[in-house]
Structure 1
Amino acid sequence: MIVVTGATGRFGSVVAHDLLNRRPANELAVVARTPARAAALAERGVEVRQGDYDDPASLEKAFADADTLLFVSGSDTTPGVRERQHRAVVDAAVAAGVGHIVYTSAITAEDAQSFLADHTTTERSIRAAGLTYTFLRNTFYTEELLVPPMLAAAVENGELAAPAIGHPLVTATIADLAHAASTVLTSPGHENAVYELRGPGWTYAELADTLAAVSGRPVRHREVGDDEAGPMAFILPLLRLEQFGTPAPDLERLLGRPATPLEQAVRAALAG
């Protein structure tokens, strides 16, 4: 039995639906804080289990009979919250006798900074618990940086303003990362493996050129200071780390195909 947590989120839902293309529904169970939100999966014959990272008592039952558990990391980055939630998940996995835990970790997790440090702590907890594991060190989602209103405004104004990063950004789409997770969940040979999942690098200058090509309108790139970065300023120190500019082959190996190119991601973002 494969059990998937976070099944109603952006990542977990893609994994769950993709798994149905690879395995019968009776070999899959999903965990949701609010099961009604997983109705589409239930309609396809998937068992939906209630489980809440803030309710440790619910988790052991939710993980019952899991040969493999996809542990999708929590989204609340408030200091202390994710560390507590993840400890509860690990403890429940041990108590439920989970055979193999696949954890959606993050780029830089070998010694992470800022809110990514929760992944460092969780990897260590999983190892210390003696669980067989696979760590998927996902890069940042391309969708988080290719925000549709920002791209539309750049096309309208003919200018894409962005701060200097210093290297291409090796982000990846949610679908690519989710499909890589599905591969790990449904194929052998991933025990105690760590995968650095990064997409093809792109720059804001290349993004401006791609916007122009896709829209048929001129778009130039203008470099701005950090004080003009807006909401992006929060993650600039992370984006400038060496890892965010260093490609890795693991994503394409797991996908068995090239990762989604920038132009395709831009077209999807502009389409809404």
Structure 2
Amino acid sequence: MIVVCAASGALGRLVVGELRSRGHGVVAAVRDPGRAGEPAGVEVRRGDYDDPASLRAAVRGAYRVLLISSPELATERRVRQHRAVIDAAVATGVRAIAYTSFLGADRDGGGGMNAAHHETERAITGSGLGFTILRHPFYSDAFINSGLRAVLDAGVLADGTGGRGLNTALRADLAAAAANALTDDKHLGQAYDLTGPLWTYPQLAEVLSETRPVEHRDRVEPTPGPMGFLEQLARAGALERQTDDLRRLLGRPPATLRAAVEAALA
């Protein structure tokens, strides 16, 4: 049996679906089972990152656990939540744990945005559990989504990345990669730096123009909110790192920009 923690989130639901489609026994551990629905063939258990007792009950009987990182922003609390899952896995005899970390977490222990991931990776590798570390990029879904319909209507795609590349990956591909890591022992003891095919906003405008003409415009002023932060990272070239790990873990190429656009507009 495989337990997926934070299974009611967007990534968690996809991983549960992947595992079920392959015939694996899955438990969905969620903060509030009453809001999780009843996914076919999936047992739902309460597993609250802030309630260690519930986590021990949630992972009991599992041979493998997927720890999907908490959305908590405060490093100290986030690490405490992750450690609670790790401790529960150790206490209940779980054989191995997979963790959704973030690119660069192996190097970022100095209090940056990856500090909690860095500390969690250290806790996992020191726990005695078998492990697989899945370092994610940003999700393509944050950039390539149904909002592109408005871009098609306006005929203009403006962005602040300066034409630099983005190494994002679709949640669906990352979920399939996680399912592979959870079900094949050859991935134990491995840490994967997962990146999708590099793409740019000018290329995105070209793909959209295959449906309807779209003009690309470079914007200097940042977009308000989180997207502005992501654009600044891209403009600085911080999202251009490339590895072959996602393709190797998937056993196939990850989705192309064109495929991502088609999915977003479907």
Tell me the TM-score normalized by structure 1. 0.89
Unaligned residue ranges in structure 1 (runs of 5+): none
User: Secondary structure in 1 aligned to 2:264?
Assistant: helix
Pick closer, same or farther for the CA change 1:32–1:47 going to 2, 3 Å: same
Separation (CA, whole Å) in 2 of partners of 1:210 and 1:248: 24
Aligned to 1:87: 83
User: Secondary structure in 2 aligned to 1:199?
Assistant: coil
User: Secondary structure in 2 aligned to 1:20?
Assistant: helix
Question: Given the alignment, which residue of 153, 170, 176 partners 1:156?
Answer: 153
Question: Given the alignment, which residue of 26, 29, 33 partners 2:27?
Answer: 29
CA deviation map 1:102-145 (0-9, x unaligned)? 00111111123743322111101112222221000111110011
Aligned to 2:102: 106
User: Secondary structure in 2 aligned to 1:39?
Assistant: coil
Shift of 1:242: 5.6
Pick closer, same or farther for the CA change 1:89–1:234 going to 2, 3 Å: same
Aligned to 1:126: 124
Separation (CA, whole Å) in 1 of partners of 2:233 and 2:97: 27
User: Secondary structure in 2 aligned to 1:115?
Assistant: coil
How many percent identity over aligned positions?
44
Shift of 1:21: 1.8
Pick closer, same or farther for the CA change 1:31–1:258 going to 2, 3 Å: same
Structure 2 residue 36 is the aligned partner of structure 1 residue 75 = no
User: Secondary structure in 1 aligned to 2:186?
Assistant: coil
Pick closer, same or farther for the CA change 1:166–1:211 going to 2, 3 Å: closer
Aligned to 2:36: 38
Aligned to 1:260: 255
Separation (CA, whole Å) in 2 of partners of 1:209 and 1:46: 42
Separation (CA, whole Å) in 2 of partners of 1:45 and 1:164: 44
CA deviation map 1:74-108 (0-9, x unaligned)? 11224433222112222222222221000011111
Tell me the TM-score normalized by structure 2. 0.91
Aligned to 2:16: 16
Task: Provide the aligned length of Structure 1 versus Structure 2.
Answer: 263
Aligned to 1:229: 223
Shift of 1:246: 2.0
Aligned to 1:187: 184
Shift of 1:236: 3.8
Shift of 1:220: 1.5
Pick closer, same or farther for the CA change 1:114–1:269 going to 2, 3 Å: farther
Unaligned residue ranges in structure 2 (runs of 5+): none
Shift of 1:198: 0.9
Amino acid at match of 2:129: L
Separation (CA, whole Å) in 1 of partners of 2:233 and 2:115: 11
Shift of 1:228: 3.2
Shift of 1:223: 1.0
Separation (CA, whole Å) in 2 of partners of 1:139 and 1:204: 17
Aligned to 2:7: 7
Aligned to 2:208: 211
